[in-house]
Structure 1
Amino acid sequence: MKNKLILLFITILFLASCKNEHSKTKIIGKRISISDSLQTNTEIEAYIKPFRESVNKDLDSTLAYAVDTFSKTDGKLNTAIGNFMADAVLEMSNPVFKSRTKKDIDMVILNHGGIRSIISKGNISSRTAYEIMPFDNNVVVAPMKGKQIKNMLSYLADRKRAHPISNLKLTLNKDYTINEALINKSTIDFNKTYYVATNDYLYNGGDRMYFLKSKDSVINLDYKIRNLLIDYFKKIDTLRPKIDDRFKQIIDN
């Protein structure tokens, strides 16, 4: 009888310990809204204030002047702001590319959706570049053969959108078929390899620009487009881009 009582006691202790080991903890979450009602930590605010003021001073220092307000909705197949961006990429990237390869960039293609802000009339600062291009996209140069160039031209004609281009002239017929295509003011030689500057997002298939990628090695210039724009603004005095005939449609033909 005594042994049975001892065994029963041990069994009860064992069950109790198992229950404690597998007990569940109830976790209750609470949502804390971030609003003006939250008090500012004065010590932290005093610490970061000089850094914030220094950053804002650098971002807001005037680099150039825009003669008008420019938006990516201003034109159908090309826009002043898109033309400026593509031309800036060509002008600022080509010396870097040439110093590395002894070759020139033949043309530039970017994407319409990559323009994230307008440029307002008045002073242009580094903050303007951050607003237009908030992403850390680098300039890359893709070697493109004839078939890729044909696919690029078909892409532009099919999309009917003002994707920024530079050093490429594309004229469409009324039915959006291709009437004429020139690179560097010359008829395209589809047996030649062209060096096309773009950004790493597009090269990797962004906006379905799959035609950019090939078996040939891409050249990454390690030059962020945002930094390139800042350098371009520092180089010029006045920004006055225009809508032109680099990508147009012939209505009466």
Structure 2
Amino acid sequence: MISRQFAPVLLLLTVLTACQSSYHLAQQSANRIEVDSVTARADPDLTGFLQPYRQKLDQTMNEVLARSTGPIEKGQPNGPLNDLLTDALLQQATQKYGKPIDVSHLNFGGIRNNLPAGNITIGGVYEVMPFDNKLVVLTLTGDMLMQLLNHFADGNKLVVGGVRATIHDGKVQSATLTNGRTIQPNETYTVAMSDYVAEGGDNSGFLKNPVRRDDINYLIRDALIDYFRQQGKSGQPITPTTDGRITIK
């Protein structure tokens, strides 16, 4: 039996439930609203608050690291930017790792912009490498290294330092390490790359079980910034060139 004190509450719930309407979407429409500096005026208080931070950011991003005698562009299968970035990564990774590294690798799709002729700035490097990918050094068997080279050779997206390769029908026909080592199936080799690829990005899941993995607390972008800064201090401009390390037959 329902207590008299709850009867009014139950009656009210019954009435409210009975009065509820059933709703459904009858139509929909959309309009494009353009927002720019004219239609959306800056808030002066907010602008004033952010100004010191913006000045500091602009100062950092506009720092000139080095100079180039011409535009440095990526390409397939070769490009001056391909060679420059992988050689820079190989050098900086070796310094950080403290031991020789055989090969460096970069994801072709991760190189998002070219570098201009003239000043190379920190902001310019951010445009080339906008992602916070960290440096990883993998120790791979010769078989795994060849699998890596073949995986990215398909589609002419092989961007490497420390190795020269000849590709035929999307497969590596021959590969030679520039440090004098030859690739033997059961020997081991060190490869500097991004954590994105090391963790299976770009369908490279076969790299998840290397002989050894060393995570370096060093952003690849920072490695490139450090490299260009060193080049700038040398006083010599960078001359864009490619050594034809990838050959297509």
Please confirm whether the aligned pair reaches a TM-score higher than 0.5, indicating the same fold.
yes
Q: Aligned equivalents of 2:48 and 2:172: distance in 1?
A: 61
Residues 185 and 160 of structure 1, relative CA distance in 2, 3 Å threshold: farther
Tell me the CA shift for residue 16 of structure 1.
2.1
Question: Does 2:197 correspond to 1:208?
Answer: no
Residue 215 of structure 2 is matched in structure 1 by 220
2:175 maps to which residue? 181
Is 1:96 the counterpart of 2:92? The answer is no
Cα distance, 1:196 vs structure 2: 0.5
Q: What is the CA deviation profile of residues 55-101 of structure 1, one whole-angstrom value per residue up to 9, with x for unaligned ones?
A: 1011112111121112223xx32211011110111111101111xxx
Partner of 1:106: 102
Which one has the largest radius of gyration?
A: 1
8 A contact 1:169–1:246 mirrored in 2: yes
Residue 197 of structure 1, CA deviation:
0.6
Paired residue secondary structure (2:45):
helix
- Alpha-carbon shift at residue 179 of structure 1 (Å): 3.8
Aligned runs of 1:13-32 on 2, under 5 Å? 14-16=10-12, 19=15
Which position in structure 1 is the counterpart of 2:224? 229
Once the two structures are superposed, residues 19-45 of structure 1 have per-residue CA deviations (whole angstroms, 9 ceiling, x without a partner) of 569997x9xxxx995443233221221
| CA distance in structure 1 between the partners assigned to 2:185 and 2:6 by the alignment | 89
CA distance, structure 2, for counterparts of residue 49 and residue 117 of structure 1? 28
The reply to whether residue 199 of structure 1 matches residue 194 of structure 2 is yes
Q: TM-score, normalised by structure 2?
A: 0.82
What CA distance in whole angstroms lies between the structure 2 residues aligned with 1:122 and 1:61?
13
Q: Please, which moves more after superposition, 221-230 or 237-246?
A: 237-246
CA contact (8 A) 1:203 1:213 kept: yes
Gaps of 5+ in 1: 1-6
**Cα offset, 1:208, TM superposition:** 1.7
TM superposition shift of 1:110: 1.2
1:142, 1:213 within 8 Å by CA — same for their partners in 2?
Answer: no
Aligned to 1:165: 160
- 2:165 aligns to what SS in structure 1? strand
Residue 139 of structure 1 aligns to a residue whose secondary structure is strand
Closer/same/farther in 2, CA of residues 22 and 83 from structure 1, 3 Å limit: farther
Identity of aligned residues (%): 28
| SS at 2:132 equivalent | coil
Please, what is the CA RMSD of the aligned residues?
Answer: 2.8
Instruction: Give the Å deviation of 1:13.
Output: 5.8
Which amino acid in 1 is paired with 2:180?
Answer: K
Distance 1:129 1:10 in 2: 71
User: For residue 228 of structure 1, what is the amino acid of its counterpart?
Assistant: A
Q: Which residue of 1 aligns with 2:27?
A: none
Query: Cα 1:225–1:52, aligned 2, differ >3 Å: closer, same or farther?
Result: same
Aligned to 2:147: 151
Q: Matches of 1:146 and 1:19 in 2, distance apart?
A: 77
Shift of 1:18: 5.5
| CA displacement at 1:14 relative to structure 2 | 3.7
For the structure 1 residues 46 and 18, does the alpha-carbon distance in structure 2 shift closer, same or farther, using more than 3 Å as the test? farther
Distance 1:23 1:55, change over 3 A: farther
2:174 alignment partner AA = E
Moved over 3 A (4+): 9-14, 17-24, 31-36, 175-179
Distance 1:11 1:186, change over 3 A: closer
Distance 2:108 2:151 in 1: 13
Matching residue of 1:134: 130
TM-score by length of 1: 0.80
